Amino acid sequence: MNKRFILRIEKLALGGFGLGFHEGKAIFAQRMAVGDLAEVELIKERKDTAFARPLRWLERGKGVQEADCASFDLDDPCGGCDWLMLDYPAQLAAKTELVRELLQPLAPDLKIGAMPASPNPINYRNKAFLPVGSGADGLYYGIYARWSHRIVPHQRCVLHPQLFDTIAQRCLEICRKAGVQAYSEASHTGTLRHIGLRCNKDQSSVLLILVTRGAKLPFSNLFVKQITAEFPCISGIVQNINRERGNVILGPEDKLLYGNPWLFDELAGKRFRIHYRSFWQINRGTAEQIIARLQKLMGGAGLVFDAYSGIGALGLNLAAQAERVLCVEECREAALDGELNSELNDLANVDHLCARVEDALPALLSDQQSSPCKTPDVIILDPPRSGVKPAALQAIIDTGIERIFYLSCAPMTLHRDLKILLGSGRYKLEGIQPFDMFPQTWHIETLAWLSRV
């Protein structure tokens, strides 16, 4: 295949690619929309597929707009956004179609609803970890380019609040004066690896996390004094120490430099404490849409298991409709947050268990077999991208829990796990609803609900 050729995009694909065909091969192209015609350059070629990037536009498709980000239109753009060049209605339509194409075959007669708009399609991310690098002008930060650890600098990201960039830029200015060096992955030298930020609903409270290679951070006391004086909204500063090579952002060691390692926030009328390590839905407005749908679908229930519960965002908001809720969460900090959050919201019917779901669930459900009245009526699954482990799925199937609500941020693993549940013959799919947790990207949050046959 020639290195350069003309490509017409026929549809959008999972992964954020435009899909076209050339010389009998499927070509996946970055930053291209349906109807786009462009000269493209081959990046990678496989037996039946290839990957390309646009070089020169000949025609633009319906819904294409100018991307409001200088880092998006670079030859090698940052990996934060996939579809910033599409207007928002076109993004919603594309995501709905992707979900229907992937999941409709599991239940051909099921009507999959259209994706509702997120209340906040830009500046919605309440957390960001920004890698730090070093160049001719000294320290800089940004977002990794796709498929690489090359940092693409930016001054303003449309996904998170402007406040994050303002604080991050000032952090680097102070660090430059203190002689702090950026971490180098190649040589495993330097100090500052990432700048992390998390904020509450009105940005009145911000956590600042400095991820470093070692425990020593020059002039840390002066840094704290300066940054907190300029940004009174900073309620906590944590130095996280990651001594290892690799792409895992956080290490196991923490040093609290200022305030607290958590902040307080609100979601759907409930108050939550959130440790900087704890999982918290990235888009508050969309999270509230999901909670409202869950409350409507679940109705009343006896015992509810909330698996992968995090700080209890789902379980606590469903507690009023259940006799009892058991939250199971692996992260110690998140489980402790969950316990406190039950107290903050005066919920005496919520218990918390700090354990791996795949370890705890088979044992818990096995114990219930001798006492049928204690078998959970409902289980909520909100796993990481890797999905639910086979042992946990099998325990659910063996027990025959009456209703399952599965919230997924990864359509492919959701498809895999639903096939296992449906393939058991014990469950039928009642509904599927996509939500836009991640506007401007291809990523999709999907709620599926099943009932026991």
Beta strand spans in 60-212 (E)? 127-135, 138-144, 151-153, 192-199, 206-212
Task: Give 421-453 as a DSSP string.
Answer: HHHTTSEEEEEEEEE-SSTTSS--EEEEEEEE-
Cβ neighbours of residue 227 closer than 8 Å, sequence gap 6 or more = 167, 170, 171, 174, 208, 234, 237
Looking at residue 49, its amino acid is T
Name the token pair of 48.
Answer: 């039946």
User: In whole angstroms, what is the distance from residue 25 CA to residue 16 CA?
Assistant: 18
Instruction: For residues 316 and 338, give the distance between their C-alpha atoms in angstroms, rounded to a whole number.
Output: 9
CA distance 20 to 10: 5
Token couple for 15: 């992964």
Q: Which of 69, 171, 327, 409 is catalytic?
A: 409
The rounded distance, in Å, linking the Cα atoms of 240 and 238 is 6
Q: What share of the chain is helix, strand, coil (3-state, %, to 5)?
A: 25, 35, 40
The two tokens of residue 442 are 């291809």
Distant-in-sequence, close-in-space partners of 452: CB < 8 Å, separation ≥ 6: 400, 401, 402, 403, 426, 427
Residue 440: how many other CB atoms lie within 10 Å: 25
Whether residue 244 contacts residue 225, with contact meaning beta carbons closer than 8 Å, is answered with no
Instruction: Give the list of residues 6+ apart from residue 343 with CB closer than 8 angstroms, or none.
Output: none
* 409 flagged as catalytic: yes
Extract the runs of DSSP E, i.e. beta strands, from 116-161: 127-135, 138-144, 151-153
Q: CB-hemisphere CA count at 13 Å for 306?
A: 28
Grouping H, G, I as helix, E, B as strand and the rest as coil, residue 139 is: strand
Within 10 angstroms of residue 67's Cβ, the number of other Cβ atoms is 18
Contacts (Cβ under 8 Å, ≥6 apart) of 101: none
DSSP state of 127: E
Q: Which residues are catalytic?
A: 409
